[in-house]
Structure 1
């Protein structure tokens, strides 16, 4: 029955154009669906990799922190032991016989401040009121502190190198 119907040519062309447009739109939708699935898989893969990197970094942080925290504690304990032993090596008799000169105290304090000691003074040779044992304790504390800082710097450098290897 429909075979016998004669359609004008413009209707046939319109129907053909509508069918072509429908096929094109279906193809677009399918392509977008496929690309969306690829993108979702990519995002999931990146999230998985980011999680793995984060876990590796956490392991690095834990290992380095424990390692260097223990080293710093050892340095602190050794420094405290050295300070406690000062009276063994610098006796009260030595403190009385050998007063620390003011010039020594000025140079020490200038070095600690990172500034020049200034022009020498006539009083630099006089006793400063600081005993040798106190100077020894201060110097031992300063060196222990520097060794702790060195271990911290070494820890940060080690941490940085290990983090770079996790990437």
Structure 2
């Protein structure tokens, strides 16, 4: 009877050892698969980051070149103001300045300021408007570059 109990215990010990061996081997296999997946994901991430960096440099280079071109053209236009608006042109009324400043700020002008507003020389007004359009075009180029950057990052 004692021999039967020892046989059963030996069988249980053998089954337990086989189960433990399978458990360890299975865990090792799963860990190997996980490590391989992590390595693959890291490699793909590095490739994506490299492509994004290249796209950023490309967009930035185009943006800087384009802004330089826009700025040079705008500065040329501002320099040409005296040619197109002679210095003996009549001054614009003070209301023009008040309205222009209010429009630049995006708010309604204060009617009380019109009475106190000095007249503005036509050349000054033309140069200010040209400078404002230059800034607007630079902002437009910046937005275009930002949109191109976002599109390139999504690819």
* TM above 0.5: yes
Matched, 1:101 2:96: no
Give the alignment's Cα RMSD to 1 decimal. Answer: 1.8
Aligned length: 155
Larger Rg: 1
What is the TM-score with the length of structure 2 in the denominator?
0.94
What whole-Å deviation, never above 9, does each CA across 1:130-161 have from its counterpart, x for those lacking one? Answer: 21001111000000000000000011111111
- 1:113 shift after superposition: 1.2
1:48-67 to 2 correspondence within 5 Å? 48-67=43-62
What is the TM-score with the length of structure 1 in the denominator?
0.87
- 1:91 shift after superposition: 1.6
1:16-95 to 2 correspondence within 5 Å? 16-94=11-89
- 1:129 shift after superposition: 3.6
Report if the CA contact (8 A) 2:98-2:113 is conserved.
no
Runs of 4+ in 1 over 4 A off after TM superposition: none
Structure 2 equivalent of residue 160 of structure 1: 150
Which range moves more in the overlay, 70-79 or 111-120? 111-120
Report if the CA contact (8 A) 1:100-1:128 is conserved.
no
Give the unaligned 5+ runs of structure 1.
Answer: 1-5
Report if the CA contact (8 A) 2:93-2:118 is conserved.
yes
Report if the CA contact (8 A) 1:99-1:128 is conserved.
no
